[in-house]
Amino acid sequence: MLVFPGDVVKDVKSVKGVTVLGPGVAPDGSTVRVTRAGRLHAKPPNTYWVEHDQKRYVPKRGDLVVGIVVKKSGDLLKIDIGGSEPASLSMLAFEGATKKQKPDLQVGDLVYGRLLNAHKEMEPELVCVDSYFKAGKLGPLSNEGFLVTVSLGLVWRLLEAENPILEAVGKAAPFEIAVGMNGRVWVNGRSVKDVLNVVRCLEVAERHDDRTVLDFCKQLK
């Protein structure tokens, strides 16, 4: 369904009073309105977003992103996150990092980080720790992994708390994954075959519903 800024999203569902709103939609009093033109998507039971032909990722504070180191200068890294300009990442913005002990990152390496600042008039700032200064799932990503680019819609499907796609893929091929809200997904597994199977499942998920993806994953066992 094509929608335009200002349109009201009708029949919005919630689960235990919670509605998940992705890019392109925002609460407006008791209603939910569209903030950009595109195609409205609704993922049962309570997730909504608008997907459009956005040429570049628009950074947003709090987003988890997969970035590529493009420059290293002293204790500061420049990270390509797919936006109009690179984000900055301090070498001290990692768990346990000190002036004497810092992660060994080089140009071309991948990191999974959180956007601390993302103002249109300021350079985006990335960190690899949470609010408790713990890494959690953030930090450098192994170069043995595989990086793929997916649509914004698939990103939101993968980030759902109870995602049948990732559960089914895991049964077919054990893997690690880092899903970036900038449309980049890093995948690693026990073997090249396992990684490629995960990537194939993601490619199917781009074009089909969950049921089709589940059936496809079962064939990979």
Matching CATH topology for 2-51 and 146-218? no
pLDDT for the residue 221: 64
Fold of 2-51: OB fold (Dihydrolipoamide Acetyltransferase, E2P) (2.40.50)
Domain 146-218 class in CATH: alpha beta
Quick one: pLDDT at residue 155? 86
Segments of the chain with pLDDT less than 50: none
What are the boundaries of each domain within the chain? Answer: 2-51, 64-141, 146-218
How do 139-141 and 175-179 pair as beta strands? unpaired
Q: What pLDDT, on a 0 to 100 scale, did the predictor assign at position 127?
A: 96
Res 161: pLDDT: 66
> For the domain with range 64-141, which CATH number is right: 2.40.10.340, 3.40.50.150, 3.10.180.10, 2.40.50.140?
2.40.50.140
Write out pLDDT tens, residues 1-21. 778 888 999 888 887 777 888
Identify the pLDDT of residue 39. Answer: 79
pLDDT number for residue 185: 96
